[in-house]
Structure 1
Amino acid sequence: MQVIEHPVEKLHSALRSTRKELIEMYEKYSKEEKSFLEGCLIPGDSLFGPITIHSDSDWIPSHPEAPQDFLSFYSNPYRSTPNNDHKTIYIQTIGSFGEGAGITEQYVEWLREYCQAFYYGLVVKLLPPVTVASTNCTFRVNSNSYNLQLHAGELLSFLKKKKPKDAFCIVGITMIDLYPRESWNFVFGQASLTEGVGVFSFARYDDDFYKRSYAGRLKKAVRLEPGNYALFQGYYTPPITSKLLLRSCKTLTHEIGHIFGVQHCQWLQCVMQGSNHLEESDRRPMDVCPICLRKLQSAIGFKIADRYKALLCWIETEGGASVPHSGKPTQSFQDFRQWLCKCLNILQDEMF
């Protein structure tokens, strides 16, 4: 296992920048926020540890790229920033999400509320669900897993046409596996920064997906005909578990982060780290590191403590706005809950 540790001075430079106007922007943080951000850069801090590489198949060894500091983020002419006319994140479900509309409504509402807490200060809305047939996208059977897959690029084109005028972005979510091109085995998701669209699949977050007994596998002999979307009617969807909800929340917020212009993080443990496989994705924490937090805060304008409180409230509140009497499966979020409490305790201690 390789541990990536940056000198504190380099982390401070990545956070604060070396440009005068960006340093002046940083000085607008409250004393408590600056103390929190800078204190979390100290090596060995339990809140934000160093990134670990477990194998050559992990993201960083297989996708070498320069780390993105705050200056690189802020100077990117293609990054997207919400404004008063475009401050809504729209979520579009594609295909079935569970056995019955009630389950789908419940699960997607939890995702919506989590996303709204994560991107505190923006509005997140659900669009009416659509069938796979309505997207008119290409599909195939994966030659390795024998699962149905949808073409991610064509779904992006479909979503671009549906993007509301007041949208900061529109993201499609599906329980059906995705592929970006014929030569690729699969892709967890795909997004376009310049177009403000993204599409993500949660199919591989089911613990049974890689088992030969997975209920979504088709027989090798299945013959596909273009436009035969009947295959997707009643197509298998995994049970909604706490682990699936956690993985879905993590993926959704990670991919929307790219639409803001935040690249894969290489500074500290962060939800914006890249991942090539499920095991690496599970190693990522739920939230952003201090450097990526500043990137989001500069784009949205939230108070750090308010954002942490909103995320904590999401974990501790049963049900959701439209389904208040249902039990939200947050067992897998308890480590994140304790982490948020530590962050808030540090911020509050700095105030007194």
Structure 2
Amino acid sequence: MGTLFSAHSVDRDFRFLIGDLDNLSSNECRFYKLSETVLKNREKLMQTEQHQDVSQGIKQSRQLVPFNSNELDDGSNHNNEGARCHNIQASGCSSDANGEENVMGRCATDVNIQTDRNCEVESLFKVLPLNKPLYTTQTYVQWHSSITYEIAFSKCRTSKRTIYLQPINSFPDFIENFELRISDHIYSLFGLIRTFAEFFFLGMDVQVLPCINIQELGWKITTRVHQKTGKQQYLVSDFYLKLRSVMPKNGYCIIGITWTDLYPKEELNFVLGEASGAHKSGIFSFGRFEPKSYNPEMSSDIFEIDEKILWRLLKVMSHEVCHLFGLSHCEYFLCAMNESTSMHEAMSQPLFLCPICLRKLQTVCKFDLIQRFQKLETFLSQLNRSWYIPEIERSIEWLQKCLNFFKEGDTDNSDGFVE
């Protein structure tokens, strides 16, 4: 692995990974350069005992589970026994219902990066084991090349700056009647998702469209009844063109929300959601559970919005919409864009983007990093005061680390890194 991740290799490839930083503020450059420092120290990280334990667990999991766009297969078994997280952080691990530590799918231990002032800056980013050169996955330059026309076109058509959330078919009464007071505002469920999306994709407008009924519209969507759960499922790819047809003219993209289960193709049994960058449309579901974990004697339909459902909504929505901005699955850091092969793995991954993925999103949305982190931290803190959710608490802690990192940069004229 040393020849793939040497400091020289990172020096050479970093501009391809993260793009040109010349037009960013010094504080933003400092933030992105921290990821370069972490990548330069990848070999040291991989040599630690804790990281070796995690890497072994991930290697075993990757040998057993094919990587295929969030597809979940009944035959997929995950061996994560060796993949225990030793430091529970905001962008690290969560605890399951039994209180045991669980792996974030791809988890790494916290590290300290030595600065040129002989002080230590805690790493905000956790690297992933990777057995191929950095440039073979989606770098910033590769991403930018694929959407160059789109970016140029958007400069001419600045009105296309709205993300549309499209509820599909009916939802149970407890969804329709859901209300949560946050600070001095009362949110519906979809209103809560919309507000979070406005801060996550700061610079874009986010709107919730009136609910549509696919039968009334005459949409021909392939359906099936899952043989294990007995529940109806929709074929996810049938929605792409249909959703695009109902997107208003000022829409940048549209994401459907449905209570009904989805499946990606006949031989696979379930998918949380999928998105098509070419169509600028996608869809996700949140009403049930993955069939491979279904036990007819133990499982029952969801009858209320709890912290797990709300966390699932925020996680899956932001992940799928990022795909509509052209982001592929991330293999560099622990990241909201990591691929997942089970519900458990997807829900254990962090809420926020690594620097490489964040740089891509920033290019389109054109947000200021500090402002975005501040707005997210304020909103999630208000949310957690109204309804405590452990995963949200850990996300807030990570945001506060980022803001502290920026605050330290305001009082430091040097960039604080070993070159």
Taking structure 1 as the reference length, what is the TM-score of the superposition? 0.79
Q: Indicate the SS of the match to 1:128.
A: coil
Q: Does 1:336 align with 2:418?
A: no
1:35 is the counterpart of 2:30: yes
- State which of 321, 335, 339 in structure 2 corresponds to 1:256: 321
Q: What's 1:114 paired with?
A: 196
Larger CA deviation: 129-138 vs 67-76: 129-138
Q: Which runs of 5+ in 1 are unaligned?
A: 217-236, 320-325
Which of 341-350 and 125-134 deviates more? 125-134
- Other-structure match for 2:338: 273
Alpha-carbon distance, 1:208 to partner: 11
1:234 aligns with: none
Q: Rate the CA distance shift 1:179–1:86 in 2: closer, same or farther, 3 A.
A: same
> Are residue 286 (structure 1) and residue 286 (structure 2) matched?
no
Is contact 1:78–1:194 with CA below 8 Å preserved after alignment? no
Output aligned runs, 1:138-157, within 5 Å: 138-157=222-241
Q: 1:11 to 1:199 in 2, by over 3 A?
A: farther
- Please tell me whether the aligned partners of residues 272 and 286 of structure 2 are also in contact (alpha carbons under 8 angstroms): yes
Letter in structure 2 aligned against 1:108: F
Work out whether residues 270 and 291 of structure 2, in 8 Å CA contact, stay in contact via their aligned partners in 1. no
Question: SS in structure 2 opposite 1:160?
Answer: helix
Report the alpha carbon displacement of residue 294 of structure 1 after superposing the two structures with TM.
0.7
**What amino acid sits opposite 1:16 in the alignment?**
R
Normalising by structure 2, we get a TM-score of 0.67
Indicate conservation of the 8 Å contact 2:14/2:36, yes or no: no
Paired with 2:260 and 2:9, the residues of 1 have a C-alpha distance of 42
Q: Aligned equivalents of 1:11 and 1:271: distance in 2?
A: 23
The one of 120, 123, 134 equivalent to 2:205 is 123
From 50, 64, 74, the equivalent of 2:144 is: 74
Measure, in 2, the Cα distance between the counterparts of 1:119 and 1:171: 14
CA distance in 1, matches of 2:28, 2:396: 20
Please give the residue correspondences for 1:1-352 in structure 2 after superposition, counting only pairs within 5 Å: 6-7=5-6, 10=9, 15-17=14-16, 25-43=20-38, 53=58, 55=61, 56-58=63-65, 60=67, 66-77=136-147, 80-81=150-151, 84-100=158-174, 101-103=176-178, 106-134=188-216, 136=219, 137-204=221-288, 210-212=294-296, 213-216=298-301, 237-318=302-383, 327-328=386-387, 330-352=389-411
Q: CA deviation at 1:197?
A: 0.6
- Report the more deviating stretch, 119-128 or 33-42: 33-42
Shift in Å at residue 8 of structure 1? 5.2
* 1:200, distance to aligned residue in structure 2 (A): 0.9
What is the aligned-residue RMSD (CA, Å)? 3.4
Aligned pair count?
A: 317
Q: Note the alpha carbon deviations across 1:156-195, whole angstroms, 9 max, x for none.
A: 2321210110000011011211023323212221211121
Checking the alignment, whether the CA contact within 8 Å between 1:152 and 1:180 is kept in structure 2 is yes
- SS of 2:234's partner is strand
Offset at residue 318 of structure 1 (A): 4.5
Identity of aligned residues (%): 27
How many angstroms apart in 1 are the aligned matches of 2:408 and 2:9?
27
Give the superposition deviation at 1:28: 1.4
The secondary structure found in structure 2 opposite 1:178 is: strand
* 1:181 partner letter: K
Residue 299 (structure 1) shift: 1.4
**Secondary structure of the equivalent of 1:146?**
coil
The amino acid that maps onto 2:318 is T
Per-residue deviation, residues 282-330 of structure 1 (Å, max 9, x unmatched)? 33211110111111111111111111112112212259xxxxxx94554
Q: Specify whether residues 214 and 177 from structure 1 end up closer, same or farther in structure 2 by C-alpha distance, changes over 3 A only.
A: same
CA deviation profile, 1:189-208 (whole Å, cap 9, x unmatched): 12111211111112345899
The residue type paired with residue 262 of structure 1 is L
- Counterpart Cα distance in 2 of 1:118 and 1:292: 13
Deviation digits for residues 191-243 of structure 1, max 9, x if unmatched? 11121111111234589972324334xxxxxxxxxxxxxxxxxxxx5421112
Moved more, 194-203 or 102-111: 102-111
Q: Evaluate the alpha carbon distance shift between residue 61 and residue 177 of structure 1 in structure 2; reply closer, same or farther with a 3 A threshold.
A: closer
Q: 1:180 to 1:78 in 2, by over 3 A?
A: farther
Deviates most, 52-61 or 333-342: 52-61
AA matched with 1:143: Q
Q: Which amino acid is the alignment partner of residue 380 of structure 2?
A: I
AA matched with 2:267: S
Cα distance in 1 for partners of 2:149, 2:352 equals 20
